[in-house]
Amino acid sequence: MIWLKVLDSFFTLLHVLIIGFNLLGWIWPSTRRLHLYAVLITAASWLLLGIWYGIGYCPITDWQWQVKTKLGENNLPDSFIKYQVDTFTGTSIDAGLVDSVTAISFAVVSVLSVYLNILDRKKQRG
């Protein structure tokens, strides 16, 4: 049972690091290329794997929910972000609102990453 709690904590930390990097990794020139790869992998998971598992699919969430289920949690939302928002606020925030804010935030940082990695680089070279 203790290893399940450790695994759950690991997945939470991994989620937080990925989400944080997806939101902020474009800021520092030294991490911009890695950030572009991170948003491409995230988009592939959400959209390509989403063809088979549902749009927004995240394998890390899937694995973590399997762990949480073994720990006795049930009625888990589709989204790790909604789960955390609900946990921190002590309420049930509308899933559509959480998904919309997540999607808009991701779209903004993705556009920033493409601009900084591709368009801005071409401008600096030219």
Instruction: Give pLDDT tens digits for 7-61.
Output: 999 999 999 999 999 999 999 999 999 999 999 999 999 999 999 999 999 999 9
Structural domains of the chain, count: 1
* pTM of the full structure: 0.90
Q: Check if the beta carbon of residue 54 is closer than 8 Å to that of residue 78.
A: yes
Q: How far apart are CA 69 and CA 88, in angstroms?
A: 20
**CA pair distance 98, 109, nearest whole angstrom:** 17
Structural domain of residue 104, as residue ranges? Answer: 2-125
